[in-house]
Chain A
Amino acid sequence: MLELRRVSKHYASIPAVDDVSFCARAGEVTGYLGPNGSGKSTTMKMITGLIERTAGAISFNGKPIQDDLIAYKRRLGYVPEEPNLYNHLSAVEYLTMVSQLRDLPAWESSQRIDGMLRIFGLHGDRHASISGYSKGMRQKVLLIAALLHNPDLILLDEPFSGLDVGSALVLRSLIQELAARGKVVLFSSHELDTVERVCSRVVILHHGKIVADDSIERLRSLMELPTLEAIFSQLAVEQDTESMARAIADLIHA
């Protein structure tokens, strides 16, 4: 189980994440939602150890992650929000490097890389430079890199970004399958439709604070709203979207 207790992150005096506490359990897919700039990716980066938190504690399976960060990282798979990869390498070279950095046995990792590249439809372009890859292809490389070592905790920050319909369907099923196999999956996305289908519970963040943390069914019944989109709009969208759209159209017509 991944547990965040009163976690905060301040940049200078500006709070990006403020007093956030929630749990993501094994066997469940936890959706982590929020508008742009609400602090989702900052939380993800704190969970990976990429950035230090200002306050609070993060623990995995009851142990604070900083107690043995290396052992924790061995069990962590992470797909970041932006598909930032070393563009001068090919997909095979990049994935081999990641497997070597993770100290995976050479033969086993080569088999896994080859197999996953085939399944994700990248095998034909595996020796091409990543600089030429589309956003979806890069996203697939990131997914493979995150899953290569069979992690127990999987953090997915906008994993559907740029994926074609077929790959998105595969990924949706894969997320559910991984959770069913006992992994802890924390999943952030703006595609509320997908979140509603995949996640068993959601945490909604607004201005760095948690405004909802419950199963989707309970939120629906508590708030008496039919969809996750409606719940999200009520909790985290401040603007009147229709009048904003009208204002933009008026501006370009002026």
Chain B
Amino acid sequence: MPRLIERLIERIPLPFRVLHRQFLLRVVDLEALSIEADVPRFLGQFAGILIMISCMRAIGTLFFPPPPSMAWATEESALANMLLVVGLIAVVTWDATFPDRRDVLALGHLPVRPRTILLAKVSATAALLGLAMGTLNFASGCSWALVLGGGSLIRSARFFASFWCTIVAATIFLYGAVLTLQGVAALVLPRRLFLKFSAATQLAAFALFMATYFLEPTLSGTGEFADPANHALLVGSPVYWFAALLNQLNGTLPSEESWLAARAWIGLGIALAGASASLTLCYVRTMKKTVEEPDLVPGAAGFHWSPRLGGSLRTAILYFSGRSLLRSRQHRVILAFYWSLALAIALSCLRGEMATPGTISTDFLTSSFVIMAIAVFGLRNVCALPISLNANWVLRVTQLRAPERYFAGTRSLLLLAGVLPAWLVAVLLGVRLRPPAQVAAHLGILLVVGAILVEVALLKFEKVPFTCSYLPGKANVQVVFWGAIFVISMLAITAALYEQKVLYDLQHDIAMFAALVAVEMVLWTVNRKRARSAELYFEEVAPEVITTLGLADGMRYASRAEE
């Protein structure tokens, strides 16, 4: 068997194999995920998380089998999870399938056909999607087949086959839809406009996938499907289409719902055709356009006004950080991830209150705390990602002020780009709530909480934003992150429950406010003292160490032995 596989692989043209391997290593933006070029490690971590989710769901299904009435809901949940993972992969690998300038310049002069490049890129992306599909569903798919098959081997086998066909179809649909959208934009828009459009669409897609996942209700079968109130939801959401497709393939779809399955087929056809056509056209047309694109793009004409934002160092840090956030796609995407997560959690908390405005609830209080915490810590994490390590020498050569002045600049950034937007979102969410005095009191408390979180975020942040590197192998996506989200949520709920009790009691409210201000002042003083003796650092890896293999010594011993 291994020989047969080897032979089959050898029959694949060598340029395709080489390019497939290269593109697979590049399909994920490494710096965005901070894995320090260790792709197998990242893929291992990614697969590990998905396997864990799959196993947990499988165990849950086996020990607590869902009743037949909940079968639809279980299937929808599996499909929603899969579509979210595919959506996140689509965002992370946003441009990876399309020809970029680097490919064109590096491969353009070599005897490699555009077709080979296209196929290698598609196969690299397909490999990543395949890995995600397999690991997320291998255990849960088996367990559902056993449980939902109702004890019959044939029914289980049919469910198993239907499930996997649907998963593959849903994956191709969503990834194909994203490719179609980008491909059409690349063909229609001028190159420069397309790059801007692509960057904006990436963020929009991210927000859409997250919001859909967290906000979409689970409909558990025919009864709810027939409700006219849900019709618009069914028409617009692919999760329901593919749940219907799964049941159609499994032979369990009521005839009145077959229109949903039809939508899945139509959507799949359009996405597949659109992606194939637009990708092919892009490789035929856009590759030439990419080469002809001028190196030097003139800057925006017109009025360039950059007012001072405090002292010169603070102004330099704030402008540098703002420009890094606005112009670096990696940083924008990661920040969008945190904001999507924060808003999704907040909106899912407030789902019930959105329709009917009323009094201040713990849901509103919790969601505003969660938004504030994720906005501050998310921004802090994004600030820790370097924009260009090689260019940091200029900050070191020009380090003429005490580190505390740099920390003050970073603090201003966290307050302006973390606390302020989160607070404004809370204002928007709370504007319809009553009584206004209590809403205002909460917003005041929220502001102080934001300032406290900023000081906590600064406790171990002895660097200029966007300049420092991670330690090798230190990932942004890891268990600690999800642990932190859990802890933040728990703390937010606890704080909200406490605030709910004291919010209507002026004396207690003032006492709580004063206590929070005191905590803020203490943390501010601690940070200020620490900053005075701290040293700014630009590399988390100790520099100037070369690991030698001791070959020189070996040579010496060998020559002595010869003598």
- Interface positions of A (Cβ within 8 A of B): 11-14, 48-52, 70, 73-74, 76, 78, 80, 82, 84-90, 92-93, 96-104, 106, 125-129, 132-134, 145
Say yes or no: B400 contacts A51, CB within 8 Å: no
Q: Mark B378-413, 1 if CB is under 8 A from A, else 0.
A: 000000000110110111111111000000000000
Say yes or no: A87 contacts B388, CB within 8 Å: yes
Known: A14-B548, A50-B396, A125-B299. A101 touches B313 (CB 8 A): yes
B320: which A residues are within 8 A, CB to CB?
Answer: 86, 89, 97
A86: which B residues are within 8 A, CB to CB?
Answer: 320, 387-388, 391, 394
A48: which B residues are within 8 A, CB to CB?
Answer: 397
Q: Report the minimal beta-carbon distance from A244 to chain B, rounded to whole angstroms.
A: 24
Contact residue among B295, B300, B393, B396 (Cβ-Cβ distance under 8 Å from A132): B295
Say yes or no: A11 contacts B327, CB within 8 Å: no
Say yes or no: A73 contacts B546, CB within 8 Å: no
Say yes or no: B313 contacts A11, CB within 8 Å: no
Give the CA-CA distance A134 to B295 in the complex, in Å. Answer: 8
A52: which B residues are within 8 A, CB to CB?
Answer: 544
Say yes or no: A93 contacts B319, CB within 8 Å: yes
Question: Of residues 440 to 478 in B, which have CB atoms within 8 Å of A's CB atoms?
Answer: none
Give the CA-CA distance A100 to B313 in the complex, in Å. Answer: 6
Say yes or no: B397 contacts A78, CB within 8 Å: yes
Known: A11-B546, A88-B324, A145-B394. A128 touches B299 (CB 8 A): yes
Q: Report the minimal beta-carbon distance from A83 to chain B, rounded to whole angstroms.
A: 9
Give the CA-CA distance A133 to B296 in the complex, in Å. Answer: 6
Say yes or no: A101 contacts B400, CB within 8 Å: yes
Q: Which residue on chain A has the smallest CB distance to residue B464?
A: A101
- Interface positions of B (Cβ within 8 A of A): 294-301, 304, 306, 308, 312-313, 315-316, 319-320, 323-324, 327-328, 387-388, 390-391, 393-401, 543-548
Say yes or no: B296 contacts A128, CB within 8 Å: yes
Say yes or no: B315 contacts A11, CB within 8 Å: no
Give the CA-CA distance A134 to B395 in the complex, in Å. Answer: 23
Say yes or no: A106 contacts B312, CB within 8 Å: yes
Say yes or no: A88 contacts B397, CB within 8 Å: no
A50: which B residues are within 8 A, CB to CB?
Answer: 393, 396-397
Say yes or no: A103 contacts B313, CB within 8 Å: yes
B327: which A residues are within 8 A, CB to CB?
Answer: 88, 129
B contact patch SS: loop
B308: which A residues are within 8 A, CB to CB?
Answer: 106
Say yes or no: B400 contacts A102, CB within 8 Å: yes
Known: A97-B319, A100-B316. A90 touches B299 (CB 8 A): yes
* A and B contact pairs by CB, cutoff 8 A, 15 listed: A49-B397, A52-B544, A84-B391, A85-B388, A87-B388, A87-B391, A88-B324, A89-B323, A93-B306, A97-B316, A98-B398, A101-B312, A127-B300, A127-B304, A129-B327
Say yes or no: A73 contacts B398, CB within 8 Å: yes
- Besides the known contacts A12-B545, A49-B396, A103-B313, 9 further A-B residue pairs in the complex with CB atoms under 8 A apart: A52-B544, A74-B400, A92-B304, A96-B319, A101-B399, A102-B398, A128-B297, A129-B327, A132-B296
Known: A11-B546, A103-B400. A84 touches B393 (CB 8 A): yes
Say yes or no: B390 contacts A88, CB within 8 Å: no
Q: Which residue on chain A has the smallest CB distance to residue B467?
A: A86
Q: Which residue on chain A has the smallest CB distance to residue B547?
A: A12
Q: Which residue on chain A has the smallest CB distance to residue B315?
A: A100
Give the CA-CA distance A13 to B300 in the complex, in Å. Answer: 51
Give the CA-CA distance A100 to B320 in the complex, in Å. Answer: 11
Most chain A CB atoms below 10 A, which of B299, B324, B399: B299
Q: Report the minimal beta-carbon distance from A251 to chain B, rounded to whole angstroms.
A: 21
Give the CA-CA distance A103 to B401 in the complex, in Å. Answer: 9
Say yes or no: B395 contacts A101, CB within 8 Å: yes
Contact residue among B316, B543, B545 (Cβ-Cβ distance under 8 Å from A51): B543
Q: Which residue on chain A has the smallest CB distance to residue B399?
A: A73
Give the CA-CA distance A83 to B547 in the complex, in Å. Answer: 28
Q: Report the minimal beta-carbon distance from A39 to chain B, rounded to whole angstroms.
A: 14
Give the CA-CA distance A74 to B328 in the complex, in Å. Answer: 31
Give the CA-CA distance A228 to B1 in the complex, in Å. Answer: 68
Q: Which residue on chain B has the smallest CB distance to residue A52?
A: B544
A14: which B residues are within 8 A, CB to CB?
Answer: 546, 548
B393: which A residues are within 8 A, CB to CB?
Answer: 50, 80, 84
Q: Report the minimal beta-carbon distance from A90 to chain B, rounded to whole angstroms.
A: 5
B396: which A residues are within 8 A, CB to CB?
Answer: 49-50
Contact residue among A12, A87, A101 (Cβ-Cβ distance under 8 Å from B548): A12
Q: Report the minimal beta-carbon distance from B278 to chain A, rounded to whole angstroms.
A: 27
B294: which A residues are within 8 A, CB to CB?
Answer: 132
Give the CA-CA distance A80 to B395 in the complex, in Å. Answer: 13
Say yes or no: A11 contacts B299, CB within 8 Å: no
Give the CA-CA distance A76 to B306 in the complex, in Å. Answer: 27
Say yes or no: A132 contacts B297, CB within 8 Å: yes
Q: Which residue on chain B has the smallest CB distance to residue A80?
A: B393
A98: which B residues are within 8 A, CB to CB?
Answer: 394, 398
A84: which B residues are within 8 A, CB to CB?
Answer: 388, 390-391, 393
Give the CA-CA distance A92 to B393 in the complex, in Å. Answer: 18
Give the CA-CA distance A78 to B399 in the complex, in Å. Answer: 13
Say yes or no: B545 contacts A73, CB within 8 Å: no
Give the CA-CA distance A86 to B300 in the complex, in Å. Answer: 18
Q: Which residue on chain B has the smallest CB distance to residue A54?
A: B544
Give the CA-CA distance A68 to B311 in the complex, in Å. Answer: 23
Say yes or no: A127 contacts B546, CB within 8 Å: no
Give the CA-CA distance A239 to B546 in the complex, in Å. Answer: 27
Closest 8 CB pairs of A and B: A127-B299, A100-B316, A84-B390, A101-B398, A132-B296, A100-B312, A88-B327, A128-B299
A11: which B residues are within 8 A, CB to CB?
Answer: 544-546
Give the CA-CA distance A154 to B134 in the complex, in Å. Answer: 60
Give the CA-CA distance A194 to B400 in the complex, in Å. Answer: 34
